[in-house]
Structure 1
Amino acid sequence: MNNVYLKIFGIVTTIGMIIVLIQGVLVTQTGSGDACGAEWPLCLGQVFPESPTVQTMIEYTHRVVSGLLGIMVIILSIWSWKRLSHIRETKFFAVLAVAFIVFQGLLGAAAVVWGQSSAVMALHFGFSLISFASVMLLSLLAFEEDKSQAFDKPSLPASLRNYIYFVLCYLYIVVYTGALVKHTNSSAACSGWPLCNGQWIPPLEGRVAVQFGHRAAASLLFFAILILFIWVVRHYKQQKSIYYSSLVSLLFVTIQVISGAVVVFTGFSLATTMFHAVFASMLFGILSYTALLAYRSKQI
């Protein structure tokens, strides 16, 4: 119980990071990115905008909540550094969480003031994911403090460990392609699912190439995680931490694929698009945890 307040603060910060991710999707989907004008941190030249439109409020609240969460992430990182420094991964995740929340804020501010390419702005969501995963793992370390075996240490071969690292890196690429779809307004470039404009492989040009590329990458991700799960079930099912983390990863990627199809069938509605983004974040979080287990595993 020594770190009960740290645990609570970690949980609240982790939930807050998910809210920030949802708000970011909301800003993009509603075209509210420039609703505060080309000014930052002011909005339309004011600290509190007067008579704001709905889009202005969406952008403004995103800025406020992001700023608040940035402070909370810094507090959590310093707090964890002091209380959990004996756990070897603490300092790494603390630095990572702060670094990427700062990068995310600076990139968002630069986009407002000077504008950025769609490719660069897609990184904004990617940076948010890394910061979210780092905050989540810091929070888990606080729970581990009370029980040294909270994260058991599976025994895994180098081949499986390296494959887990590969899947995590590949997931980040897939997430980036998804963010690129949004920032290039390519969501509706492919009608129908799983076919794209009535074809399995459409002409790969312009926005169709961006959308189809994301679909293809996401499909390969599903099979990559399926292979991981089958590998674990066949040889390491008795090692519960790696078994359950791979099982949850497969569940989340399945939901992610289904939600992607639902997004298309519902005409890219705001609710389904936000749900799709949330599960992408949760999938990245659980695979990051799986990678932590792999890193801590005993080599066989």
Structure 2
Amino acid sequence: MTPVLSQAPASVRRAAYAALGVSLLHIVFGAIVRISGSGMGCGDHWPKCYGYWFPPLERMDLIIEVFHRYLASLLLVTVGATVFLAWRNKQAPRVSGRGGVLRSSGLMLAVGFFAAAFGAVTVNFSNAWWATVIHKAIAVTVLALGAATVVRAGGLGAASVSAGHGTPKAIGGATAAAVMALLVVLLGGLTAKVTGAPVACVGFPLCGEGSLGGGPQHLQLTHRLVAYLLVAHLISLPFLFRRRGEPMAVQTAAWIGMVLGVLQVCWAAWMVIGGIAGPDKYAPRSLHQATGILIWVTAFVMTYLARIAAGRSTVGAQQVSGVPGTTGGAMTARAVPSAS
């Protein structure tokens, strides 16, 4: 008897993927805004840019900032479309009830509006470090809700995962990776904003001779040490999961996390050894920021899949192929005879 899990309707699933993709693009572009110093590209004007919805594209900092705002609008549109399609298909598998697409996409839309509103706070306070870090925390929350929506729709390998095929140990390992990844992302945002912290450590992998010392160096070093612990943990996970026979989707997420972790160390070395200042350093800094976000969302998805596999999380109105559908709340998949 092999459980065969269903997916949400294709339109809902595609919309969820689109919302996740735009959310990822928006947060990565937000890092580029910070790296290029374009956060005040529209001055202290919000939501318009110097009184225009479509201002003259005469300065690079203005172009970067205003397109970041356009991406925020596009994100709200795609999430809104996901909510609408989920509501239209609320009787379909995986859509309604606890653990369904409708609830996570609705929450994603609400937090997305809050993120947009908080953008006004960051502008009014001239991108102060605390406002920037809070804004980033809200953004990664939106990203996590987008990933959860895709998983609930049956994407990112979730359609192949059924309860009872994973172990609680996988939840612990994946959760530790997700917590550390989130901490590294937020510490990275804080390091980028505190005066002197981005260049406080001379040398790699630790702070060498000529480093600034004081609080900025301690912040930079803390960011690095937590990142090293995260990468070491990510390298161990795929081997542990394979030995325990965790579901393939969970193992795949672990392998992706490991590769991203190794790449992140490479980008960090390139960024520090080559010097962090100057326009020609945008590439390694942008890659470093983007990879950190990818590690976070990968660790989050890995945790969610591990929880489903261990029976700790359910999906809304889950239906099994070949078995009459259900349209109520969350339930555990029933087994049906396999084709073999």
Q: Is the 8 A contact 1:156 1:297 kept in 2?
A: yes
Where does residue 26 of structure 1 map in the other structure?
32
Partner of 1:272: 284
Bigger mean CA offset, 281-290 vs 171-180: 281-290
Pair 1:250 & 2:262 matched: no
Give the distance between the partners of 1:9 and 1:293, measured in 2 at CA: 20
In proportion to residue count, which structure has more helix?
Answer: 1
Match of 1:136 in 2: 147
1:210-262 per-residue CA deviation (whole Å, 9 max, x = no partner) reads 2111111101111222343343233x236322222212211111111221112
- Choose which of 308, 312, 325 in structure 2 pairs with 1:296: 308
C-alpha deviation, 1:143, in angstroms: 4.2
Give RMSD over aligned pairs.
2.9
Say whether 1:175 aligns with 2:179: no
Letter matched to residue 229 of structure 1: P
Q: 1:184 & 1:148 partners in 2: Cα distance?
A: 40
Q: Is the CA contact (8 Å cut-off) linking 2:83 and 2:106 kept in structure 1? A: yes
Task: Provide structure 2 residue ranges, at least 5 long, that are not aligned to the other structure.
Answer: 1-6, 90-94, 313-340
Q: Give the Cα–Cα distance (whole angstroms) in 2 for the partners of residues 27 and 209 of structure 1.
A: 25
Which one has more relative contact order, counting CA pairs under 8 Å at least 6 apart?
Answer: 2
Distance 1:133 1:274, change over 3 A: same
3-state DSSP of counterpart to 1:296 = helix
Residue by residue, what CA displacement relative to the aligned partner does 1:98-150 show, whole Å, maximum 9, x if unpaired?
23322322222111123453133123223222212322332343345xx9843
**Distance of 1:44 and 1:148 partners within structure 2:** 45
- Name the amino acid aligned to 2:138: F
Q: In structure 2, do the counterparts of structure 1 residues 119 and 149 end up closer, same or farther at CA, with 3 Å as the change threshold?
A: same
Distance 2:158 2:21 in 1: 25
Tell me, yes or no, if the aligned pair for 1:13 and 1:72 is still in contact at 8 Å. yes
Question: Retained in 1: the 8 A contact 2:181–2:296?
Answer: yes
After TM superposition, the score normalised by the length of structure 1 is: 0.86
1:263 aligns with 2:275: no
**Identity rate of aligned residues, in percent?**
20
Which consecutive residues of structure 1, in runs of 5 or more, have no partner in the other structure? none
The 1:294–1:42 alpha-carbon spacing in structure 2 relative to 1, beyond 3 Å, is same
User: Residues of 2 paired with 1:40 and 1:247: CA distance?
Assistant: 42
Counterpart for residue 100 of structure 1: 111
Give the residue type in structure 2 aligned to 1:232: F
Aligned residue in 2 for 1:164: 174
Once the two structures are TM-superposed, the CA of residue 2 in structure 1 deviates from its matched residue by 7.9
In 2, Cα distance between equivalents of 1:274 and 1:148: 30
The AA in structure 2 aligned to 1:65 is: L
Question: What's the counterpart of residue 216 of structure 1?
Answer: 225
For 1:174 and 1:81, the matched residues in 2 are separated by: 36
Relative distance call for 1:217 and 1:92 in structure 2 (3 A) is: farther
Which one of 45, 67, 79 corresponds to residue 39 of structure 1?
A: 45
Alpha-carbon spacing, 1:86–1:270, altered in 2? closer, same or farther (3 Å): same
